[in-house]
Amino acid sequence: MNTYNKFASMVLLLLFITSCQTNQNNITSVDDYNPYLEKKENKSLQKATEDLNFWEKKLEKEPSQYPYMAKIASAQSQIFHTTGDIDYLILAEENLIQVNKLTNYKQSGYLRSLARNYISQHKFKESLELLKTAETNGDNLKGTQKMFFDVYLELGNYELAKTYLYKIKDVSDFDYLIRLSKWSDHQGDLQAAIKYMEQALTISEASKVDGFMQWTYTNIADFYGHNGEIEKSYKYYLKALALNPDDAYAKKGIAWIVYSYEKQPDEALRILNTISQEHNAPDYYLFKAEIAEYQNNLEAKDENLSQYFNAVANTKYGNMYNKYNAILYAEDLQKWDEALQIANTEIANRPTPQSYDLLAWTYYNKGNYVNALLIAEEHIADKTFEPEALYHLAEIYKANGKIAEAEGLKKELLESTFELGPLMEREIQKI
């Protein structure tokens, strides 16, 4: 064989090997999810809008019927979840405040509805106060106790969260199982988290209630992704979309698989651009900015970050995007005073390891490695298993010469690269 033929054969072999490797990573198919991206009537939005109009007309005819306000708030909450339009979450809050005033804060169902709204707004302390009132009222106590677990977990009061989890224990109850799954994940036991979510999945599928099944499908898809079971994750996002073609969360999950696992940034961007036509959430800009940075398109990255900050400048978002803002100020914009202010606000609101992580990470980016280490060792190390916080901890260890500790975390982080994404994977490799 002459030199040219040998060279050509080697090229063909390399192309074949590369093709095989690429195909091994490609678990998604455009044919699977494209039908859900095509412009169609949003049935979820249509239904919620019809409900809103119906109950508004009923209230107009009978202004004294305060239960109609709760129905209106429910429809407004659904519109928020379907479209991402923050105005509807705030309108729902206003109606729920009014109905609770009219009932003198004596009906726990209305109190829990407002508490749920406050959770969406990251007003966890306000939510807790409402739940305390509901607990005193005593009606449907189990429902209140379930929400106590949710709020105490968000606030970082893990002992009380555990106490309320024990109070609602019922291994045949869907609500208990999903909370036990969440608790297991908090403790770093992903296998147990998946096991309990799978048990909840069995219950939700037996119920044949689309809302239950859709919620469970997206949550178990998340867990499978965290566990490196990407094909299963993809399958369950598709199952959620089969139930509700307007599920923006499931579409975003598929976009992440396409970007982080398959390394197809252009296709991920196409999916995101389609989602954001109907669902407005500031974090889409952050996803697009990450893709742009991955593609070395710094102009597009800056444009998306600019659009993100324009979006979250809306005061109605309150503290909902504090985490993202603090990290952006610390890393990209180097506005450390602003980052420190946000981090301290988050610690005051909920002193969790994740909140302290914002503070430690800001000090690290500012070059104050000693302060970063002091905070990290007291409030983060051995207190969270969240991969992003562990990555920050590894960098802080490395900067302080604690190489063995950093290397130990590096091994763990390399198992979470799908969740963290390609950009962070590059940084992890440097630890």
Q: What is the pLDDT of residue 5?
A: 44
CA atoms within 13 A on the CB side of 142: 7
Please report whether residue 353 resides in a domain. Answer: yes
Q: What is the pLDDT of residue 40?
A: 85
Q: Provide the mean pLDDT of the chain.
A: 94
Other CB atoms within 10 A of residue 220 CB: 27
Number of domains in the chain: 1
pLDDT tens-digit map of 101-142: 999 999 999 999 999 999 999 999 999 999 999 999 999 999
Q: What is the pLDDT of residue 100?
A: 98
Task: For residue 347, give its domain range.
Answer: 321-431
Please report whether residue 296 resides in a domain. Answer: no
> Is residue 2 over pLDDT 80?
no
d(CA 181, CA 193): 4
Q: Which pairs with CB-CB distance under 8 Å and at least 24 residues apart come from 282-285?
A: 282/308, 282/311, 282/312, 282/317, 282/321, 282/324, 283/308, 283/321, 283/324, 284/252, 285/311
Other CB atoms within 10 A of residue 372 CB: 26
pLDDT, mean of residues 270-278: 96
Please report whether residue 427 resides in a domain. Answer: yes
Please report whether residue 248 resides in a domain. Answer: no
pLDDT tens-digit map of 75-106: 999 999 999 999 999 999 999 999 999 999 99
Residue 24 pLDDT level (bands cut at 50, 70, 90): low
> Is residue 14 over pLDDT 50?
no
Going by C-alpha positions, the residue among 345, 415, 357, 421 that lies closest to residue 384 is 357
Please report whether residue 181 resides in a domain. Answer: no
Whether the CA torsion 370, 373, 377, 378 is positive or negative: it is positive
- Give the CATH number, domain containing residue 416: 1.25.40.10
Q: What is the pLDDT of residue 54?
A: 98
pLDDT tens-digit map of 317-350: 999 999 999 999 999 999 999 999 999 999 999 9
Q: Which residue in the block uniquely carries the two structure tokens 């490395």?
A: 398
* In the chain, % of residues over pLDDT 90: 93
> Is residue 1 over pLDDT 90?
no
Residues belonging to the chain: 431
pLDDT, mean of residues 44-55: 97
d(CA 41, CA 113): 29
Q: What is the pLDDT of residue 380?
A: 98
* In the chain, % of residues over pLDDT 70: 94
pLDDT tens-digit map of 350-385: 999 999 999 999 999 999 999 999 999 999 999 999
Please report whether residue 186 resides in a domain. Answer: no
Asked if residue 410 lies in contact with residue 431, where contact means CB atoms within 8 angstroms, the answer is yes
Please report whether residue 327 resides in a domain. Answer: yes
Please report whether residue 367 resides in a domain. Answer: yes
pLDDT tens-digit map of 293-320: 999 999 999 999 999 999 999 999 999 9
pTM for this one? Answer: 0.93
Query: Degrees (nearest 5) of the Cα angle 138, 139, 145?
Result: 70
pLDDT, mean of residues 55-69: 96
Asked if residue 257 lies in contact with residue 277, where contact means CB atoms within 8 angstroms, the answer is no
Q: What is the pLDDT of residue 25?
A: 73
> Is residue 15 over pLDDT 50?
no
> Is residue 16 over pLDDT 70?
no
Q: What is the pLDDT of residue 12?
A: 42
